[in-house]
């Protein structure tokens, strides 16, 4: 997840596991890529009756190419029995490992655990992918039911004393085992994860830990479902097309189509996205409508009613803090960052606070420029948050003689995908892509591409699911349906999800440049998964620290504006004419425009995340005080600049209260330091060259977390990362925030 990157403002990740199903808590590796909670039937649980099991596609490995799930055979009724059987099967496997009378060995303990839970993994990977991208009431109800069971199941494995005793014995004698580097790292990882999951706690503390984990799994599921339901319910309905002045004809048609789909013929519906800011605010001339959209957006989850998330936020923060104390950490942030490249909350916060003054200073200057324009037009009002995008676009047009809508005819979706994203991957890595129309998909909008290496050998499957719909949560993310593994002989099957408004039937899908950059970003995650070449699935693909996982995807964004690539895909959808060089130059010239806003709204959210997760259990505010806590945290951090609210407010901050980015939203800018430095490396070495791509793939993209991530970076780069390229990219000076 993944969700979800500060610049450009595109939703990434919750991302989750890999950007869509990121788990709340540590769990068995077979579930890490899929489950947002963590499982239990009793230790003596037996497989349920398998009457009809032959009709359940999860009970056997898929026979389709690359073990692609047989979506044409999967029905909602298959999930519950497959989960039940999968949990029972894995518990029997774990009991057999823990009770093995033979002395523990790497193969009969660590590899055996790694091999367990295959049925559970198959169903979880599909279920939690679809619960994000194509849900329904049946899936949502089952997700609520499963959350505490999956939490208990994970605890039953991690808190099994006999199993941990075997792991501990191997860990204590690890230097004498003669393991290869990846196997040694796997042993060390299992020991670390079991300890962090509470394996060394006394029985009373284990009982409390189980209760906390079970409750958290339910709360985070409830938060996500509340947000999806309220986001759909609060889509803004417009009665008169005249109110939509400023939007393009395509946007108005899409709003009419969205209304018709809801049975509101003759009206117009503007769906909300996950973020605070909403796309129509850039062009809508009607200030009252802009204000209505903005206030509707920021009111999600905190305005009362059945979908209010304040109680969940309060309780999640308190329980996370209590669990951290139970496990021996001062705060949840300290617990989380121990395994990240930042290592400590203090290191992460220091970077955020170092950048914040300069970002806010730039944002204030940008606001002054817009206020001057408002006054020049005799607007008679003070700049408000719902005015920012509209007047920023006006300033940009005046300053650069550039209207972003001029670009859209040159950014047709399939051209961007085939002649941009795929073209760059071909030039850099030698990849080629063949669309497969013979394989089943879970929704008609999904497309499947088989991916080949330069020598013609197969690499995996890449699925695209680009259009928004009511059954999909907001944002953009990458997931895996099948992770790469040498142990199981599998190649990756990955999917990219975006939320591009679907045009009326027969009309082209014309993108904003932000959507183009998002497509390149998410494909960077896809490459990370596809290129994985490790033995153990625990280390595969994007199974890396949160503050490292965004790095490869952010690097891939550079090709969106690389001249050779941009010229190849940016062609008029009707005439095929390339984007005029004058327009290209304006696009490139505006890259640093509005960066004060973009950086401030991101830093506000990242610092808010840290504020929630650096508290003691008794410091968690009551539900009624959640928004007061938020306001105080932003003020204390020096980012409480009213015209630039946080990219996410607490009650719809799904990354941290429903996804896997708790105390981790800082990861985007932490990763961007590595990204910006790497972009400089590519430029210094000739850019879009096969030798560069092959080096990046061999040294970093293929290694997953089989090696410590920063060691991978240093091996690739030949040096420590530098922050200067990031500052240059964003047009920031650390001096600009000082008096």
Residue 578 DSSP symbol: B
**Beta-strand runs (E) in 245-382:** 268-270
Do β-strands 447-452 and 268-270 pair in parallel, antiparallel, or remain unpaired?
A: unpaired
Residue from 726, 716, 676 nearest 692 by CA: 716
DSSP secondary structure of 213-266: HHHHHHHHHHHHHHHHHHHHHTPEEES-GGGGBTB-HHHHHHHHHHHHHTT-TT
Question: CA–CA separation, 420 vs 414, rounded Å?
Answer: 9
Beta-carbon count within 10 A of 103 CB: 10
User: For residue 288, how many other CB atoms are within 10 A of its CB?
Assistant: 10
Phi, psi of 437 (to 5 degrees): -100, 0
Residues in Cβ contact with 233 at an 8 Å cutoff, skipping those fewer than 6 apart: 307
CA–CA gap between residue 422 and residue 460 (Å, rounded):
14
Q: Of 634, 651, 19, which Cα lies nearest the Cα of 276?
A: 651
Nearest to 19 by CA among 602, 668, 506: 668
Cα angle 5, 9, 11; round to 5: 60
Which letter does DSSP use for residue 412 in this model? B
Cis amide bond preceding 407, omega within 30 = no
| Residue 522 annotated in active site | yes
Give bridge partners of residue 237 from the DSSP assignment: 269
Pick from 441, 495, 468: which is nearest to 17 by CA? 495
* Alpha carbons 634 and 442: distance in angstroms, whole number: 42
Within 13 Å of residue 231, how many CA atoms lie on the same side as its CB? 25
Which position among 89, 522, 557, 601 bears the catalytic label?
Answer: 522
Catalytic residue positions, numbered: 522
């Amino acid at each position: 997840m993944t969700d979800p990157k500060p610049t450009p403002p595109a939703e990434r990740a919750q991302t989750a596991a890999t950007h869509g199903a990121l788990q709340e808590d540590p769990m068995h590796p077979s579930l890490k890529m899929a489950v947002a909670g963590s499982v239990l039937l009793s230790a003596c649980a037996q497989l349920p009756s398998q009457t009809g099991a032959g009709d359940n596609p999860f009970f056997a490995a898929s026979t389709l190419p690359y073990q692609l799930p047989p979506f044409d055979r999967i029905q909602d009724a298959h999930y519950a029995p497959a989960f039940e059987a999968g949990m029972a099967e894995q518990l029997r496997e774990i009991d057999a490992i823990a009770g093995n009378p033979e002395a523990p060995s790497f193969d009969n303990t660590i590899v055996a655990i790694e091999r367990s839970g295959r049925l559970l993994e198959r169903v979880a990977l599909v279920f939690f992918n679809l619960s994000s991208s194509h849900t329904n009431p049946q899936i949502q109800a089952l997700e609520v039911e499963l959350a505490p069971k999956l939490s208990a199941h994970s605890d039953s494995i991690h808190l099994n004393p006999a199993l941990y005793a075997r792991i501990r014995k191997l860990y204590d004698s690890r230097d004498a085992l003669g393991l290869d580097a990846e196997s040694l790292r796997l042993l060390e990882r299992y020991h670390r994860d079991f300890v962090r999951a509470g394996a060394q706690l006394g029985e009373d503390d284990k009982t409390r830990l189980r209760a906390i984990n079970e409750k958290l799994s339910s709360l985070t599921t409830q938060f996500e479902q509340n947000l999806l339901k309220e986001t759909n319910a609060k889509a803004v309905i417009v009665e008169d097309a005249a109110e939509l002045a400023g939007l393009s004809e395509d946007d108005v048609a899409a709003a009419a189509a969205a209304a018709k789909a809801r049975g509101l013929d003759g009206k117009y519906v503007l769906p909300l996205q996950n973020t605070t800011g909403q796309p129509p605010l850039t062009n809508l001339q009607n200030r009252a409508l802009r204000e209505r959209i903005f206030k509707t957006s920021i009111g999600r989850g905190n305005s009362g009613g059945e979908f209010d998330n304040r109680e969940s936020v309060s309780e999640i923060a308190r329980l996370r803090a209590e669990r951290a104390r139970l496990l021996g950490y001062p705060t949840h942030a300290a617990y989380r960052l121990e395994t990240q490249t930042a290592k400590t909350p203090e290191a992460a916060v220091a970077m955020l606070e170092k950048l914040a003054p300069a970002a806010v200073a730039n944002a204030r200057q940008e606001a002054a420029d817009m206020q001057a324009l408002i006054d020049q037009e005799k607007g008679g009002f003070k700049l408000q948050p719902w005015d920012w995008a509209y007047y920023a676009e006006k300033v940009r047009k005046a300053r650069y003689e550039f209207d972003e809508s001029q670009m859209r005819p040159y950014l047709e979706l399939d051209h961007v995908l085939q002649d941009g994203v795929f073209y760059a991957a071909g030039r850099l890595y030698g990849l080629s892509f063949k669309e497969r129309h013979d394989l089943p998909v879970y929704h008609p909008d999904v497309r499947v591409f088989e991916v080949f290496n330069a020598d013609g050998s197969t690499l995996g499957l890449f699925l695209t699911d680009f259009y928004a719909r009511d059954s999909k949560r907001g944002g953009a993310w990458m997931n895996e349906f099948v992770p790469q593994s040498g142990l199981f002989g599998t190649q990756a099957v990955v999917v990219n999800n975006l939320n591009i408004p679907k045009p009326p039937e027969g009309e082209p899908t014309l993108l904003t440049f932000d959507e183009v950059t998002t497509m390149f970003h998410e494909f960077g995650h896809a490459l990370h998964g596809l290129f994985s070449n490790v033995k153990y699935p625990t280390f595969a693909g994007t199974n890396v620290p949160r503050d490292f996982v965004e790095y490869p995807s952010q690097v891939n964004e550079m090709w969106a504006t690389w001249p050779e690539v941009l010229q190849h895909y940016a062609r008029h959808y009707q005439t095929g004419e390339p984007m005029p060089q004058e327009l290209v130059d304006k696009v490139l010239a505006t890259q640093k425009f509005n960066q004060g806003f973009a950086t401030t709204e991101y830093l506000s959210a990242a610092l808010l995340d840290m504020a929630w997760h650096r508290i003691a259990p008794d410091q968690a505010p009551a539900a009624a005080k959640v928004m007061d806590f938020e306001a105080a945290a932003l003020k204390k951090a020096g980012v409480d600049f009213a015209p630039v609210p946080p990219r996410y407010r607490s009650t719809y901050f799904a990354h941290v209260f429903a996804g896997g980015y708790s105390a981790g939203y800082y990861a985007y800018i932490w990763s961007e330091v590595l990204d910006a430095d790497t972009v400089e490396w590519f430029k210094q070495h000739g850019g879009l060259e096969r030798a560069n791509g092959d080096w990046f793939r061999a040294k970093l993209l293929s290694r997953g977390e089989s090696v410590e991530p920063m060691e991978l970076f240093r091996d690739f780069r030949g040096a420590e990362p530098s922050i200067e390229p990031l500052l240059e990219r964003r047009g920031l000076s650390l001096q600009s925030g000082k008096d």
